[in-house]
Amino acid sequence: MVVSSQLKRVFFEKEALDYPLGRQIYQQMQNAGQEVVFLQSHNRVTGIPGKSPREAFFQGKSTLVVGVRKTLDFATCKPSAHYQLPLVTGCEGICEYCYLNTQLGKKPYIRIYVNVEDILHQAAILIENRRPEITLFEAAATSDPVAVEPYSGSLARAIGFFAEQEWGRLRFVTKFTCIDTLLKLKHNNHTRIRFSVNTDQVIRSYEHRTPRLQHRLQALSKIVASGYPSGVIIAPVILNEGWQQDYKALLDDLAEHIDYQPGMDFTFEVISHRFTSRARSNILEVFPQTDLPMDEEIDRQYKYGQFGYGKYVYTNDKLAEMKALFKEEISESFPQAVINYLI
C-alpha cells in the first residue's frame, strides 16, 4: 500500500485496535513509515495545527483519523436515499464550492470507521424494518469513500454485503479513481457507482487535489464494463462564458469513454451551482482569491430550499437554458438514460 502523499498526520483512537480493520490500517501505516499518534479520548481530535482559517482548513484536509463509530443511528439522506451509510466522513479533495466546507468544521479531517461489521449489521436491521420496500443507502453523503478505499477496504466489504440483500441497495459517488479492487466483486447489480464529473475548466479552477477528467472517465469505463449500475453527477454546473460548448464537449467525451447501449442502467444527476451566504463566507475565508461566481446580484435569485434555509441559485431564464441543453444532449447521446435530477 502506498500512503497518500497528501497525508501529513494520522491519528488513531485506541479502541480502533480492537478491530481487525484498525489493526490492519495501523500496520499499513507502520510499514509505510507514517507516524501515528493516539488520541486521548473518543471523538476529540486535537493536534491539528492552523491559526488562520485557511491554514486550519488545509491542515485538516491532510489529516486522517481512524476510529470507532459509536453512534449507530443513521442520518436520513433525502431525496437521493433513505439513509446515509457512515463508513467514512470527510474527503482529501479540495473543491472550493463543496458544501462540506460548512458541515465538517474549521479543520475538516478525514475519518475512517473500523467497526464496519457493526455498521452493516445496523443497515441490515433498517432493511428488515422496511421490507418489502427497498431500502437505499448512500455511502458518500459526507465523504468520498473511494479516496481512502486503499486503506479501508470498507466499500468492498459493503458491496459484498449488499449483493446478498434482497431488499437493500447501496450507492455512492466519487471523483477518485482507485476503484480496481472493486471491479471483480460480486455485486449482483445492488450497488450503483457514480462519478462526479465536470468540464476541464471547472476541474482545473476549483477541484484541487482530485483526478483530472480523463482519469475519472477511464475509471468510470471500468465500472461500466464490470456491470455495475452506474452514472454521473455533473455538478456544480457553472454557467460561465462559453459554458454551452464546454458541457457539450464533456458529454461528447463521456460518450466516447463508455460503451453506452440503450437500456443500460446509467443515470444522470445534473445540478446547477448554488450557494448560501454562510457557504460564501466560509469559502472566502479559505480561498480569498477565488473567482467562483458568488455575486448574488449577477444572474441569481434567492430560493428557499426543502431544508428550511435559502440559497442563491441561477435565475429562471438561465436555468431554463441549462435544462434545455442537457435534455437535448443527453437524449441524443444517451437515449433511454434516466435523468434523476436536472435542477
- Where are the chain's structural domains? 9-342
| Region 216-221 average pLDDT | 98
Query: What average pLDDT does range 174-191 have in this prediction?
Result: 98
Please compute, for residue 338, the number of CA atoms within 13 A of its CA located in the half-sphere on the CB side. Answer: 9
For position 44, what pLDDT does the model report?
83
Q: What predicted TM-score, i.e. pTM, was given to this entire model? A: 0.93
Instruction: Give the pLDDT band of residue 6 (cuts 50, 70, 90).
Output: confident
The CB-based long-range contact list for 323-327 (8 Å cut-off, 24+ gap) reads 325/244, 325/247, 325/248, 326/234, 326/237, 326/247, 326/268, 326/270
- Residue 143 amino acid letter: S
pLDDT of residue 42: 76
Whole-number Å distance between alpha carbons of 167 and 131: 6
Number of H helices, E strands in the chain: 10, 17
Alpha-carbon Rg for the chain in angstroms: 20
- pLDDT > 90: what percent of the chain? 85
Of 99, 104, 15, the C-alpha closest to 63 is 104
- Given a cut of 60, is residue 145 above it in pLDDT? yes
- For 43-164, where are the alpha helices, taking DSSP H only? 53-61, 116-130, 149-152, 154-163
d(CA 167, CA 197): 30
Q: Is 331 helix (H, G, I), strand (E, B) or coil?
A: helix
Closest C-alpha to 89, from 141, 137, 142:
142
Dihedral angle at the C-alpha atoms of 217, 192, 160, 70, nearest 10 degrees?
Answer: 100
Euclidean distance between CA atoms 53 and 239, whole angstroms: 29
- Cα-to-chain-centroid distance, residue 259: 24
Q: Cβ–Cβ contacts within 10 Å for residue 140, how many?
A: 26
CA distance 268 to 279: 25
pLDDT for the residue 184 = 96
Q: How far is CA 304 from CA 225, 276, 307, 311, in A?
A: 41, 10, 8, 6
216 and 193 Cβ atoms separated by less than 8 Å: no
Topology adopted by domain 9-342: pyruvate-formate lyase- activating enzyme (3.80.30)
- DSSP state, residue 245: H
**pLDDT higher than threshold 70 for residue 76:** yes
> What pLDDT shows up at residue 225?
96
Contact between 217 and 298 (Cβ < 8 Å): no
Confidence at residue 216, expressed as pLDDT on a 0 to 100 scale: 98
The single residue listed with the C-alpha cell 476541474 is 203
Residues 230, 308: contact at Cβ < 8 Å? Answer: no
